[in-house]
Amino acid sequence: MLSDSRQARIIIAMQRSLPWKLAFLILIPTLILYGCSNPSDGGAASDVPSTGIVNKGSDTIVNLALAWAEAYQVLHPDVRISVTGGGSGTGIAALVNGTVDIANASRAMKAEEIDQALSQGIDPVEFVIARDAIAVIVNPNNPVRRLTLQQISDIYSGKINNWQEVGGEDRPIVRLSRETNSGTHVYFLENVLRMGEKENRTLFSRDTLLLPSSEGITSEVRQNPNAIGYDGLGYVTEEVKVIAVASFSGGDYIFPSAESVNSKEYPIARDLYMYTAGEPEGDVAVFLEWVLGGEAQDIVKELGFVPIRP
């Protein structure tokens, strides 16, 4: 059995020499083996109390949360962080049910969700942990390069059904969206389809294809020349084309980026959240303090999101 210091040197070496995703795949088995060391084997794990943080929710945030967990556990090997996705609604429901320490959400909690939490004796506390632009994407072979918010709303609501109506070729539009439990879906519905108007009741066209993940949307857009989709900026790859968006007809067409989000020029941008049941304490409080600090925010930038500290 390796000593504490030997384990730490191995983990740190892996982190520095490998891409983070590959390092993560190798790191987890190492941590599991280390955590399972038995005192009778002379392992040092018995000298360090092991605690855990359960973190669940937004699929937009899940890769960021996994990267944070990897980096944090190198610094704090006595704290185990469990990260799963499932959507913002799933994470918030788990917080209300008392089964998670932290809920990830790519939208703010709704009033009815807060009321439900309060009825369970849980007072949700909100933390803005990063920012994100939602990029509208099309196939690279699609000649359309820019759209207004109104045109995007009309496409997704079914008022516009052919690319020719917005300057493209005579092809039917295939609409792609995240599923309804996704915070990205809710944000897009309220702020793009409904243009941020509270009384607006516009809905997605019934033929909109609902996909369970951001990667699924990117993959489908890459393969289908008629498709349009939307994804968090951190999930956009070079295999799709990002559309420049104008807030109104005659306005400037802006591409999503960290700079255009912080300047508030890009019109489809949002905060990303973590929620706790009451003011965080102990390991959860220390972890969230780290999340809001410089090292964790550097990871935000590396993964294509927007740090809360420009």
Query: Same domain, yes or no, for 143 and 51?
Result: no
Give the range of the structural domain holding residue 195, as residue numbers without chain letter.
133-269
CA distances for 77 relative to 27, 28, 286, angstroms: 11, 11, 14
Query: Same domain, yes or no, for 49 and 159?
Result: no
Query: Same domain, yes or no, for 142 and 246?
Result: yes
Query: Same domain, yes or no, for 194 and 243?
Result: yes
> Is residue 307 in a domain?
no
Q: What is the CATH number of the domain that holds 216?
A: 3.40.190.10
Which residues of the chain register pLDDT less than 70? 1-50, 310
Query: Same domain, yes or no, for 34 and 108?
Result: yes
Query: Same domain, yes or no, for 167 and 220?
Result: yes
Query: Same domain, yes or no, for 149 and 210?
Result: yes
Query: Same domain, yes or no, for 148 and 120?
Result: no
Strand partners, 246: 148
> Is residue 308 in a domain?
no
CA dihedral 252, 258, 262, 265 (to 10 degrees): 10
Question: How big, in percent rounded to 5, are the helix, strand and coil portions of the chain?
Answer: 45, 20, 35
pLDDT digits (tens, 9 = 90+) for 246-282: 999 999 999 999 999 989 999 999 999 999 999 999 9
Strand partners, 103: 56, 275
Cβ atoms of 83 and 69 within 8 Å: the answer is yes
Of 128, 123, 124, 84, give the one whose Cα is nearest residue 106. Answer: 128
Query: Same domain, yes or no, for 184 and 92?
Result: no
> Is residue 310 in a domain?
no
Q: Can you give the length of the chain in residues?
A: 310
Query: Same domain, yes or no, for 260 and 150?
Result: yes
The whole-number pLDDT of residue 275 equals: 98
> Is residue 59 in a domain?
yes
Distance CA 135, CA 146 (A): 12
The whole-number pLDDT of residue 40 equals: 37
The whole-number pLDDT of residue 8 equals: 41
pTM attached to this predicted model = 0.77
Query: Same domain, yes or no, for 117 and 231?
Result: no
> Is residue 33 in a domain?
yes
> Is residue 211 in a domain?
yes
Structural domains of the chain, count: 2
Query: Same domain, yes or no, for 125 and 196?
Result: no
CA distances for 54 relative to 74, 98, 206, 220, angstroms: 17, 11, 36, 32
The whole-number pLDDT of residue 234 equals: 87
Distance CA 105, CA 116 (A): 16
The whole-number pLDDT of residue 208 equals: 98
> Is residue 38 in a domain?
yes
> Is residue 309 in a domain?
no
Give the rounded distance of the alpha carbon of 30 from its chain centre. 26
